[in-house]
Structure 1
Amino acid sequence: MNSWQPELEKIINFENKLEKITSIAVISDEELAEYAKDISYIQNLLSLIASMPQEKRPDIARWDDVVSRLWRKLFAKGDDIDRYTFGDLWLKVLLDQKDEKRILRTATGFIASCRNFSLFEEALEVGKVITERFDNSISGAYANFLNTMGSVYYCKKDFENAEKLFLKAKAIGELVTDEESQGWIVSSRNDFISQEYLNIAEINIEMGFESEGKARELYVKKAEDLISQLDQMQITENLRSFVYVTKSELAMLKGDFKEAPILLDKIEEASKKGSGPYYYSIATTHSRLKALFYSLLGDYQRAYHFIRKALRQVSTKAYPAEDIFVLDEAIKIVRKLYDQQKKLRDGELVKDLVLLLEDKDWYTGGSHSRQVADLCLKIGHILKKDGISRLDILELETAGLVHDIGKLKIPWSLLNKVAPITPKEKEILKLHTKFGREILLQIGLTNCAEIVYQHHETADGKGYPLGKIPTIEASIVGICDVFDASTTVNRRYKKPKTLSEAVAEIVSLSKIKYNPDAVRGIEIVAKSMA
């Protein structure tokens, strides 16, 4: 057991380093490189422990005391992807043990990360395993687990199941001591119970926005009753500040546009002070709610200003699932800003989508998207002259601009990860084609949606997401994406290829990965760039 002490000390040292940074989004390239080394070391170490027979593992309880703190700190510093990856590995280790609360604690963090990555089915699958094992538990750890499972259903917009779980979490929370709550939820007992009131109020507000007439009035009444009970409870100032969020949403639901700005000002003031989990994303939440406020007033330009601000803020840290809420609101606002059919050709809608992505992923959303679009345009003209008359050049350019728009639904910590990407993380990144299609269909760019969906398919039918031969349009976007990514410097791929190296590699894979017509087009374009 003692032979593992040096390894444990390295994790503790890394934990101490985390204390000195505000967010991984703002550290220097040198610090980021060092951070990546530490992450790789811990990832390999946990993988090793998970692969070993139980009798050869270190003292798991002692190690769990350290790594469970690490999960929270990684999340607080904006690194949810490594909380996800480490939690996945460590949960496998803990499930071999019998310590209920430790298992629940790590499962809760892992499921929260799944939720933040929109991996709802994985979250529910793990949740089912844990529920079957501990469903009769009366503990703070289980109450917190139920709360997190409720939030998964909430993000899926399955409000019925979400409310059931929030109510069950509240009932168990009422049975545990404050010491138990502080130890396993990292929250006072009263704050936890109050959080469930807030969660249920949020469900009613959300349902209210989707309803009209008497149905809306009923949801308003339910939310008002819950908030009235909250006002009578003794809770910390941290949570009290966050109650303003729910109150401001309720005011907007009621159409009280005099009260709503007063409450929004209180949220802004709260964002400038305080600490703890309730403050992780309150500035982002404020910007999102300002966007909602102006959207409800019909001032979509100002709404767009604030939702862009929220997207920039959400890149550093968000709690919980604020990323998902911001994107949902952004799509609604973009849809309202433009009449999709009239604006499809003039490019304003597309430019704004790219700006939204640039606010989140500086490399992909900025020059890369524009360069891919430019390459697509050039190849489109070349191939059209050569007889491929069915190509819609403007549509091809548009698809090039928004080919990575699905990355809006991939959290910042994975998009910008510098440490080696694990196989599971690669699979999450691959979801950007599916997400991109969903977003583009939502805003009416139907043809572009199909091109974007297929741009990682290959000529031999071994690409993703479907493993089928792509259309010529998708082939062009895909080859332009690869060419620009391989010849451009960015944070993850430090050494770019020369134009000739990139072309030679692409030509060698003609008819295997790439459509021969698209290959011919990139050869001609590359020669003009030399």
Structure 2
Amino acid sequence: MNNKSDVLNHFYNYINKLDSLYNLSEKEFENYNDRVMEFLTASVFNRSSSYENALPLSLKLSNLGDSYTAYLFLKAESKTRKNKYEKIFYKAKAVANLLFTGIYQKSETMLLELLNEVGNTRIDIGLQCYILVMLGQLSAIFKEDYATAENYLVKVQTLYKRAPENNPPGMDSISQEDLLILYYNSLFEIYNRALWKNTEMDRELYIEKVKSLDALPKSEDQYFNILYKLNKIENMIAVKEYNTALQELKYFDKIIKNSVFERWVRPSIFRDYARIYSKIGDSELMYKYAKMSIMSCKIYGNALDENIMINDILDIIFEYGKTSTEVQTNIGGNYFIDQLMRLLRLKDWYTSADHSANVRNISLNIIDYMVKKKRIKIDTTTLNELKYGAYLHDIGKLYIPWFELNKITPLTKEEFTLIKNHTVFGKRILDRLGMERIDKYALGHHERINRKGYPFRLKPDILTNIVAASDYFDAATSTSRKYKTPKNYDRACEELLKETGKGFYPEIISSLCSIVKSGEDPKVYTSEK
């Protein structure tokens, strides 16, 4: 193509024809990744001219679930803008998309820096309010710090009337109407979340806060009213009016179906069904709607909602498990664990389907061999923990945005850091579900004995290192990973032998390679052998 503008226009026309990345075929998905690389080359590196369709292009990328590409593009776009307000606006929009990917620490730093750049004009106030809304959402969603989130949003409540009555040309989200929609419903949602999580004493306080908020003037905007109705239903759930909430939710579901707003609220509707059915004791429908909630985030590309829904679904399952003999009985078996793995399979196309089971089986074969050769002793309880810890070692990937998890082009440093965080996220999930005894396997399966692994460069114990070696072996020999050529078992063992004493304990690698040399498949486990 002749120039960068042509490349941008061509890419913009291409993505406007896409409804969902999740529904693309494997070949189409690979084509999308290739086109993104071409687009980024033209739009990010050494571009001096602004692009007239920057805002709708970035919105489409975000709606497809590719928020990180939108972030890179908008960050570059902000540098091309000469107007001070436009420069800050595009920076803020870039950070919003970075936040959608889950990279919230850097997002928070950038947002706080942007607050120092705004002045006191009406446009400045609008920009300030928009930034404060994002800080409020960040505090609530990623930190679960509802008091700080409320403080940010209450500031918006006091300021938004000084913002522009209408959005300036080429901008959105900073008019009085837009800010009212953003802050009001964000605040309502925070109060509902606090009601779900807090003690009876705190509940009375938040019930009064909801009443005070409900008494404030509201917008006539259709989207405002959609969100308001949904928040009212969620408040019914929070105050334990489950049957009324279910009736209202079913009615709301019919109204919203096939509307232009469906993509934004469908994950929440399914989540709310799951919450209600968990409270009235219907586990089958609870799990059904839990999975539908997460699946709809993928289909609609709602990356931020995906993080919210994962948190909420885990809480729903955990709360249900505390009172359900069904879950308590099966947590040592397969039912509860399988529900978690089904959630992961919805997200990870290329690695989760067989990888978790393979790592479990390889780990069990290694430990059996080591026990047989008297290299280790292990009791039944610890063996059971190893079994489930190995199976759930990658469960933290639930918190990684779908597109980033399945991306087949090279990752940036930021993206790789996000992917590496699945170890910390895994510990968080297992702890959240009361499974602290196996969280070390999620946290430590990328640690190495020479302290050069991640996330903390710690030396793992031998059982965690068994899972790490099993993970390495299966990844090296997997045929489902599009970004690397699979190795045969003998070649993988050769690589592992080179890592003996560096990444892995010698007795682990010698045991695994002895299994391979015997002709047995380490990915197949039968307890009878």
Fold conserved (TM > 0.5)? yes
Pick closer, same or farther for the CA change 1:296–1:512 going to 2, 3 Å: same
Contact 1:307 1:329 in 2 (8 A): no
Aligned equivalent of 1:146: 132
- Residues 303-342 of structure 1 correspond to what in structure 2 (within 5 A)? 303-317=286-300, 319=302, 321-338=304-321
2:34 & 2:94 partners in 1: Cα distance? 22
**Over residues 340-385 of structure 1, what are the superposed CA-to-partner deviations in whole Å (9 max), with x where a residue is unaligned?**
8865532433222212211222333321111111111111101111
2:302 & 2:161 partners in 1: Cα distance? 24
How far off is 1:282 after superposition? 1.3
Contact 2:409 2:483 in 1 (8 A): no
1:163 aligns with 2:163: no
How far off is 1:15 after superposition? 1.1
Contact 2:400 2:422 in 1 (8 A): yes
Higher mean C-alpha displacement, 132-141 vs 353-362:
132-141
Pick closer, same or farther for the CA change 1:255–1:469 going to 2, 3 Å: closer
Q: Report the residue type matching 1:480 in the other structure.
A: S
Q: Report the residue type matching 2:275 in the other structure.
A: L
1:509 aligns with 2:494: no
Pick closer, same or farther for the CA change 1:469–1:257 going to 2, 3 Å: closer
1:166 & 1:5 partners in 2: Cα distance? 47
Q: Report the residue type matching 1:368 in the other structure.
A: H
Q: Report the residue type matching 1:486 in the other structure.
A: A
**Over residues 323-345 of structure 1, what are the superposed CA-to-partner deviations in whole Å (9 max), with x where a residue is unaligned?**
22211222223323446886553
**SS state at 1:470 partner:** coil
1:327 & 1:476 partners in 2: Cα distance? 29
Aligned equivalent of 2:367: 380
**Over residues 217-253 of structure 1, what are the superposed CA-to-partner deviations in whole Å (9 max), with x where a residue is unaligned?**
44223323433545x53212x3322222101011122
Contact 1:416 1:492 in 2 (8 A): no
2:211 & 2:202 partners in 1: Cα distance? 14
Counterpart pick for 1:72 among 46, 59, 62: 59
Aligned-residue identity in percent? 23
1:490 & 1:104 partners in 2: Cα distance? 43
How far off is 1:509 after superposition? 2.4
How far off is 1:432 after superposition? 0.5
1:201 aligns with 2:188: yes
Unpaired runs of at least 5, structure 2: 522-529
1:30 aligns with 2:27: yes
Aligned equivalent of 2:525: none
Q: Report the residue type matching 2:55 in the other structure.
A: S
Aligned equivalent of 1:192: 179
TM-score (norm 1): 0.88
Pick closer, same or farther for the CA change 1:135–1:290 going to 2, 3 Å: farther
2:389 & 2:158 partners in 1: Cα distance? 50
- Residues 323-472 of structure 1 correspond to what in structure 2 (within 5 A)? 323-338=306-321, 343-391=330-378, 392-472=382-462
Aligned equivalent of 1:286: 269
1:11 aligns with 2:1: no
Aligned equivalent of 1:253: 238
How far off is 1:412 after superposition? 0.5
The root-mean-square deviation of aligned C-alpha atoms, in Å, is: 2.7
TM-score (norm 2): 0.88
Contact 1:181 1:189 in 2 (8 A): no
**Over residues 447-504 of structure 1, what are the superposed CA-to-partner deviations in whole Å (9 max), with x where a residue is unaligned?**
3211221110123221111112222112211121122122222253263222222222
Higher mean C-alpha displacement, 203-212 vs 465-474:
203-212
Higher mean C-alpha displacement, 9-18 vs 192-201:
192-201
1:223 & 1:315 partners in 2: Cα distance? 31
Aligned equivalent of 1:54: none
Aligned length: 510
How far off is 1:76 after superposition? 0.6
Aligned equivalent of 2:524: none
**Over residues 160-195 of structure 1, what are the superposed CA-to-partner deviations in whole Å (9 max), with x where a residue is unaligned?**
332232233344442344432684225874353133
Counterpart pick for 2:258 among 245, 249, 273: 273
**SS state at 2:220 partner:** coil
Aligned equivalent of 1:128: 112
Contact 1:244 1:264 in 2 (8 A): no
Contact 2:7 2:42 in 1 (8 A): no
Contact 1:46 1:89 in 2 (8 A): yes
Pick closer, same or farther for the CA change 1:226–1:319 going to 2, 3 Å: farther
1:105 aligns with 2:89: yes
**Over residues 119-142 of structure 1, what are the superposed CA-to-partner deviations in whole Å (9 max), with x where a residue is unaligned?**
332121111111111153532444
**Over residues 277-334 of structure 1, what are the superposed CA-to-partner deviations in whole Å (9 max), with x where a residue is unaligned?**
x543311111001111122334344322211221222223354722222112222233
Pick closer, same or farther for the CA change 1:359–1:164 going to 2, 3 Å: same
Aligned equivalent of 1:263: 248
1:202 & 1:326 partners in 2: Cα distance? 13
Aligned equivalent of 1:53: none
Aligned equivalent of 2:466: 476
2:492 & 2:256 partners in 1: Cα distance? 48
Contact 1:487 1:496 in 2 (8 A): yes
How far off is 1:79 after superposition? 1.2
1:43 aligns with 2:40: yes
1:212 & 1:467 partners in 2: Cα distance? 38
1:269 & 1:148 partners in 2: Cα distance? 31
How far off is 1:88 after superposition? 5.0
**Over residues 257-284 of structure 1, what are the superposed CA-to-partner deviations in whole Å (9 max), with x where a residue is unaligned?**
3431233124322442232xx5433111
Pick closer, same or farther for the CA change 1:352–1:107 going to 2, 3 Å: same
**Over residues 94-136 of structure 1, what are the superposed CA-to-partner deviations in whole Å (9 max), with x where a residue is unaligned?**
6xx6633323333333333343344332121111111111153
Pick closer, same or farther for the CA change 1:283–1:240 going to 2, 3 Å: same
Q: Report the residue type matching 2:359 in the other structure.
A: V
Q: Which runs of at least 4 in structure 1 moved beyond 6 Å after TM superposition? A: none
Pick closer, same or farther for the CA change 1:111–1:202 going to 2, 3 Å: same
